[in-house]
Chains A and B, each alone.
Chain A
Amino acid sequence: MHAPRSNAVPAADPVAAAAPAAPAAARRRWASSRAVAPYLFIAPFFVIFLAFSAFPLGFSIWLSLHQWEPTAGLAAMRWVGFENYLFAITDPWFQRSLWNTLWFAVVAGVPQHLVALPLAYFIQRRLKRSRNLVIGAYFIPYITSSVAIALIFSTLYSKDYGVINAALQALGGPGDIDWLGDAAYTKPAVAFVVFWRYLGWNVVLYLSALQVIDNELFEAATLDGAREWQQFRHIALPLLKPMIFFAITLTIIGNLQLFEEPFILVDIEKGVAPSVMTSAIFMYRLAFSDGDFGTASAVSWILFLIIAVLTWLNGRLFQRDGGRHGRG
């Protein structure tokens, strides 16, 4: 695993290390072991997955068809069929939360990638000594604890005492924006925190994918007179497609389940809370405030459907462009 990666293509060290076997018999052995191999490789993963995820998944589907207040015990489940789903879809709060969620997904999600891609490229191509430091700086928001984020951002965003308002005032602008209290400003304020948190994560993902691209490609292009921007667009981007697909899928999945940032920044008891209430927060309230686990499960499956559709669309988008992302 620590072997230096070779520049040469196939048939170098690893093969020399393997014991050569008698061709015919070996080939037969390979044929059957090759058929079985994939199953063996995924087996450990799936055993654990099925044991610990399948049951909760199934339970959640089952639960979505019942009415259940958990404190009353398992026996208190009552069959209601699709009533929960109907209730959720026609619920004004759910509809509003869906709108909020999609808003956040776009406003916080798109910039993450628009900035992360060029940034990763820049770091890969231009930074040598300060590289780790810069990556670290951008990655730090991802590891900052929720408690710290809640406390510090509410201090920064404070209407009367916040640094942001102070800076704005110094620059001649209004100095009393209620960032976390006025609906018009709270949404962007929370979206910024989401962007802040996950930008570095995407940078790291893209950086790791950039390692796969041979630098000689870029050097050759420079010699041919291609400018930096052109190299980025025509060499790096196409080769990054598999990772872009991965990163965007994660953003879709993550943002559509957005819970933490709005929850910790805007106290659920604040008047402005409904304007940043995402579907996941709505689900949480249904489950733990209203005591309606059945509808909460139904909402999670409705959300799941939306995420699945968007992910599939995302996949089609990337497949159509002929991106080579390996076999299968």
Chain B
Amino acid sequence: MFKLFPRLALAAALGLLAAAAAVAERVTITVATFPDLDRAAKAAVPRWNKLHPEIEVKVQSLQYADHHAAMSTALATGSGLPDVVALDFRFLGKFAESGGFDDLLQPPYAAGPLREKFVRFTVPQATNTKGELIALPTDIGPGTLLYRKDIADKAGVSEAELTQSWESYLEAGKKIKAKTGAYLLADAADLRDIVIRSGLKDGEGIFFDRAGKVLVEGPRFVRAFELGRAARAAGLDNKAVAWTNEWTASFKQNRIATQMMGAWLAGHLKNWLAPDNSGLWRSALLPGATYASYGGSFYAIPKKARNKAAAWQFLQFMTLDKETQLESLRVLDSFPALAEAHAAAAMDEPVAYLGGQKARLLWKDIAAKVPAVLVNKYDAMATDVMRDEFENVVSHGKDIPKALADARAQIERRARR
């Protein structure tokens, strides 16, 4: 009768062993990231635990610059690296060239066909000069012109006037200054940065061409400096650099009429920059039909990571999972890089802060039209040099051709290797 018993016992023992093995196989991966992006990872963890209980995710967060310095340090010695690394766009070029991250086009990742799932312009950003795809994008910043409708109305300026061309934008700014006293923009440098990026086509670089030649004496740059100087000369900017106290205070004090920035700025305005101004802002295209993107975040897997299979699972979860991308949108106001997420119903929602405008549809369109520009590891350095020369032009009256020539010489000097 109870030959069953030994079999039951055996089954129970086997069951226990299997359970023990499953628990023993529980893998822990570390994800190194920085604020504010860490909130996206932390928000995703509960859902992750339900779908992948066998992989535990530890999120390690450090300040923005500290994080990238720590990653540099770890890569330098090839040790102490986490399993998944979050990289900001500003540092991406450098890390991409480093050779410290796995090429996701190779097996076992085979991410080749996955590239189409993302907004077009993000892919070359994560591809290095050897053609390796070292990271996948998780969020983007479609460039938009956020403007105060009430200030514009008071000055008798329409959205069309603001966005038709750079010249009309500046003219509108003069009207705004005259009628309301508000500044057109926070910093003439913002203007310079966007005009530099105008008219770029797929495959072109901002500061360097494909061969590494420095482009800063070209017409884009001349125009950018001229317009910036004109804006400063007409008193249209508050000389407040983004994210400084001066800048944040300007919003609260209703002194800024427009701000060119990534779409995610609307979220910040709502949360803390100017919560009282809800309903007064609108989002529009950048003047002169310029399509550009601000920043962006990516995830990569270091070559020396220990749990690559689990890391890859998590990477896909953060970048290719529609629900996770939309969750980030809700939590962080970060705009998804996944094209599929752009078709979601959430995109149709009116954005209350922007007076009920269906801004996400606009941002989706902008994202699709941003050109896929080439990224160079010296882009950050070139940005610094341009900033310095621009300051010489607007504050010290330096001649533009001379400034640009000096800029080219500086960039060539520093990019000598």
Contact = CB atoms under 8 A, between A and B. Distances in A.
Contacts of A269: 241-242, 387
Contact of A160 (B98, B249, B410): B249
A73 interface: yes
A288 B72 contact: yes
Contact of A274 (B65, B68, B189, B388): B388
A219 interface: no
Interface string B67-79: 0110111011110
B390 interface: yes
Contacts of A271: 189, 239, 241, 387-388, 390-391, 394-395
B98 A72 contact: yes
Interface string A37-48: 000000000000
B69 A288 contact: yes
A74 B76 contact: yes
A151 B248 CA distance: 12
A291 interface: yes
A178 interface: yes
B99 A289 contact: no
Contacts of A178: 239
Interface string A46-80: 00000000000000000000010111111010000
A228 interface: no
B245 A154 contact: yes
A155 B245 contact: yes
DSSP class of B's interface residues: helix, strand, loop or mixed? Answer: helix
Interface in A148-199: 151, 154-155, 158-161, 178, 180-181, 183
B160 interface: no
B241 A151 contact: no
A93 B95 CA distance: 25
A267 B241 contact: yes
A158 B72 contact: no
Interface string A259-299: 00000000101111010000000000100111110000000
B246 A158 contact: yes
A71 B381 contact: no
Contact of B395 (A72, A183, A292): A183
Q: Which residue, A70, A181, A274, has most C-beta atoms of chain B within 10 A? A: A70
Contacts of A183: 395
Interface size class on chain A is 35 or more
Interface in B399-417: 410, 413-414, 417
A87 B414 CA distance: 9
A163 B241 CA distance: 20
B273 interface: no
A87 B295 CA distance: 32
A277 to B, nearest CB: 10
B69 to A, nearest CB: 6
A151 B98 contact: no
Contacts of B384: 285, 289
Contact of A71 (B95, B255, B395): B95
B76 A272 contact: no
Contacts of B69: 288
Contacts of A290: 378, 381, 414
B99 A72 contact: yes
Contacts of B99: 72-73, 76
Contacts of B241: 267, 269-271
Contacts of A292: 414, 417
B94 interface: yes
A288 B68 contact: yes
A277 B381 CA distance: 15
Interface in A130-163: 151, 154-155, 158-161
Contacts of B394: 271
10 contacts: A69-B97, A69-B98, A71-B75, A159-B246, A181-B246, A269-B242, A271-B241, A289-B384, A291-B377, A292-B417
Interface of A: 67, 69-74, 76, 87, 91-93, 151, 154-155, 158-161, 178, 180-181, 183, 267, 269-272, 274, 285, 288-292
Interface of B: 65, 68-69, 71-73, 75-78, 94-95, 97-100, 189, 239, 241-246, 249-250, 253, 255, 377-378, 380-381, 384, 387-388, 390-391, 394-395, 410, 413-414, 417
Q: Which 5 A-B pairs have the closest CB atoms?
A: A71-B98, A271-B391, A70-B76, A71-B75, A270-B241
Given A160-B250, A271-B239, 19 more contacts: A67-B417, A69-B94, A70-B75, A70-B76, A71-B98, A72-B97, A72-B98, A87-B413, A93-B410, A151-B245, A159-B239, A160-B246, A178-B239, A180-B246, A183-B395, A269-B241, A271-B390, A271-B395, A292-B414
